[in-house]
Structure 1
Amino acid sequence: MIYNTIILERKKLSAWIYLNRPNEMNSLSKSLIIELLSALREVEQDPSVRVIVLSGKGKAFCAGADLKELLTDLDRQPDGQKGILDLAGDLFDTLNHLSKPLIAALNGMTLAGGLEIAMTADIIVASEKAKIGDAHSNFGVLPGGGGSVRLPRKIGVNRAKYLLFTGDFISAEEMKNFGLVHEVTPADDLEVYVQELADKIALKSPLVLKEMKRLVTDGLEQPLEIALRQELLALKNHTRSHDFREGLSAFSEKRTPNFKGY
């Protein structure tokens, strides 16, 4: 697929996907969503990609939905094609079910749907120039990608309600203090830091990363006793894998393990 609104780059064992509508603050148009879906599905299925990074070009990571296109889309006559909200639903479903580690590198403004995309990531790193907020209330719009659901779980109910109700933007450093952002870097260092982080993660067993991600996600939705039993069962099953034996053999032989992902 030829991409016009995103850029897909492979860097070592990671794939970087940049939202690339800088003049529109990387807002989510139908074409961008379709291309982003295609790229995510491509790298998810590519065994040479072990870590996925999402970032943006220009001054924004993503400012949310393209509201002009959304309004036009809502007014169009039914034609059997998916509308922007349906496509956005597909996008968030895909993001929520990625099996590979996902890092969001917030290069700039991260608002509304952009924040919702960022919150699907396993790790968020932000430039010191990034401003982050929900912003839906500023336009009389409700969240639809997890803003009212994930944000309270990430930063606490009271802080989330403040951001949801006021539509205010806050600094990346504040979001780090709230626990949403893992690290804040100088703007010029963002990609270098994230690439080093992606490289570090990519050296781990792809099978372990996949299972760890699943266990964390599932465990949050289960009673503690059940989650602990599932974790132990996963470990027992994992002992039959190549990567389990390779990791222990490499430790014993004092060498770097060669993980295969099975």
Structure 2
Amino acid sequence: MALITSQQLGRFFEKYSDINLTFTKDVVRATGLLHRNTHIKCLGDHWPCVLYSCSMKEARVIANLSKSFYEKLKSANNLVSLHVAFAQEDKSSPLSFFVTSKINGFTPYDKTKPNLNFLSLEYTQRPPDDLIVILGSLAEANLNSAQRKEERIEITADTIRKLGLKSKTALVYIEGIPRKCIIRDLSFSGAKLILPGIGKFLMNKNALFRFELTDRNKQLSLNGTMIRVETVAGRKDLVAAAVQFDETKVPYEYKLLINDYLNTLRSKKGNSN
């Protein structure tokens, strides 16, 4: 994730503070949320919980609550601290912090499990900067994936390094059959590839595009469709193909990757003016 200035931090809070993010598996992967480190603290005791959704102003968690919790909560006038932790790619220790909150309500999660509840938490002050960065970065990447979806990044030795790609080579599974390919460019909405094959047999086929990042040998996979296929001059065995991603299935990790790079370009242009 790119470095965030105090100006960007303020913009994140002003623009995205009301956006509530549900912590799906995709979001958990993108943020590195550590469920086992998430808990509610009240008057010195803590209770494990699951972070269900979160914004810069409030959160919803799922927790199995005992009688002792309600007794503590009553003594604390409904004030608690929400502890969350996120894995850091470049560090062995997690990023963790407390968010001071007030519990505004309880909703049963499952009628057969009366102690299991949704808890609605309202923050009593502006949350830690780290949470603003995490939520703001995802909100911005999601917005830009729609507004800047056609901006293309040509894959060169320089962009491979800056994007953190392991190589310009990748795999594309056409109707489940893997083919090696070369990445020509990337965008929020798709990729242009060079691969072996006959164009008429590839057009409109389902495609799973998969490539590797240098970061801990991480792989990203994107579902899409072959929407355009052209011949490669002088090579009857190769085609240039365009894959359009299914925008409902583009992972947040990919959106962050493209957004961070495009923001770097925008920052450089701004500094040069």
TM-score, scaled to structure 2: 0.21
Q: TM-score, normalization: structure 1?
A: 0.22
Q: Which has the higher strand share?
A: 2
